[in-house]
Amino acid sequence: MWYTGKGDSGKTNVPSAGNVWKDDAIVDALGDLDELNAFLGLAASTNNAIKDDIEKVQSDIFTIASRIAGFNLELDESKVKELEGMIRKYGDELPQLRNFVLPGGDISASTLHIARTVCRRAERKIVSLYKESHIGSLEISYLNRLSSLLFVMALWCNKKKNIEERIWKK
């Protein structure tokens, strides 16, 4: 069966919080992580060159969501370091950026820019949970670094397609 009907009352069970309303802060954060993972899947499906790295990140996002939901899964500083390595890998092929760029370009880059904004939103929600002592700070560090990676990957995808970044002009 593909549905249970248990959520029809507007509540859901989250192991770390119990039976909560679906608009509870913890459910909201989990929803943002789910949305982030969906956009990452879309980005991976548009560009085989980034697919393996994106799938590693997707797995980490599931781990973060599971930790927030109350499952005792391991997430350590090495995951943040792994993101930093990916940022260097993609960023080393890019020219120095001195301006704001308008999100867009190739479909991969555009999708990564959307994923980046969803990542930032999820990070803000998780900061709120952190302030309420629901989670540790490693999730925040991870998402902060991930948004940087997604930005760099977007620029990298455009460069590989010879698409020039559009510079913001006021």
Name the DSSP letter for residue 108. Answer: H
**Residue 32 to residue 123: CA distance in whole angstroms:** 9
Measured over the CA atoms of residue 35, residue 126, residue 79 and residue 103, the dihedral's sign is positive
CATH number of the 22-93+101-167 domain: 1.20.1200.10
pLDDT at res. 134: 61
Question: Can you give the residue ranges of every domain in the chain?
Answer: 22-93+101-167
Alpha helices in 4-137 (DSSP H): 25-46, 48-69, 77-91, 107-131
**pLDDT value, residue 23:** 87
Question: Is the full-model pTM beyond 0.85?
Answer: yes
The predicted structure's pLDDT at residue 46? 96
How far is residue 85 from each of residues 36, 110, 112, 144, 163, measured CA to CA in Å?
21, 22, 18, 14, 24
pLDDT by residue for the chain (170 residues), tens only, comes to: 888 888 888 988 878 877 878 888 899 999 999 999 999 999 999 999 999 999 999 999 999 999 999 888 889 999 999 999 999 999 999 999 889 999 999 999 999 999 999 999 999 999 999 988 767 789 999 999 999 999 999 999 999 999 999 999 88
Q: What does the pLDDT read at residue 84?
A: 98
